[in-house]
Amino acid sequence: MKMSVILGKKQIVLASLVTILGIAVYLNYVFTDTGNFDLLTASQTSSSETENYGEAQLTGAEPVEGTADETTAETTAETENDYFTSARLERRKARDEAIETLAQTLGAEEMTDDEKELAAEKALAVSAQIESENKIETLVKAKGFAECLAYVDADSARVIVRTDGLTAETANQIKNIIIEETGLSAENVSVGEVGLEE
């Protein structure tokens, strides 16, 4: 009789952990969603826009000044946004796969209690990493960066920001945010940038 009560409590705890993990994934999705951006649609649109056969060309006229620079700046900004968008999508996909695997593991009946506890601990770790990434991204964006992407795992953290130039002082401020949030040592924290090309 006592054994069934203990198993019931463990199952409730495991179900709670899976629910918490699901909520963390949802929050990650909500906070990192930058809009309704569909990579397939965007690539189809850009390829169809560049294939204008029979387009009229002006000949014998002088080129308009500033047009090439503006086009280059727009293309660079689109490339950077594509980088952050695709990186977020890849991170979300990897996390969703990990969470699905953990949920299946927790639901497997042939596992021992120790294996289920280990899977539950991993689920909590993934949830904590997602929460840390969201907090770090929010705090770094509050420093004035338009785009920020954080990757946190058990022994390291990486942050990538979009900026014209990352100064040592700003990089140290970002590192301090990461260290405070994760508790990692400075040598396990890195800050990178995706800069604007001119």
Q: Which residue did the predictor score with more confidence, 54 or 127?
A: 127
Query: For the chain, what percentages of helix, strand and coil (3-state, to nearest 5) are there?
Result: 65, 10, 25
Q: Check pLDDT > 70 for residue 20.
A: yes
Per the structure block, which two tokens stand in for 187? 């040598």
- Options 1.10.580.10, 3.30.230.10, 3.30.930.10, 1.10.287.4300; CATH for 2-35+69-195 is 1.10.287.4300
Could you report the per-residue pLDDT of 107-153, keeping only the tens digit for each? Answer: 777 888 888 888 888 888 888 888 999 999 999 999 888 889 999 98
Weakest-pLDDT range from 27-41, 47-61, 150-164 = 47-61
The domain ranges of the chain are 2-35+69-195
| Residue 57 banded pLDDT, cuts 50, 70, 90 | very low
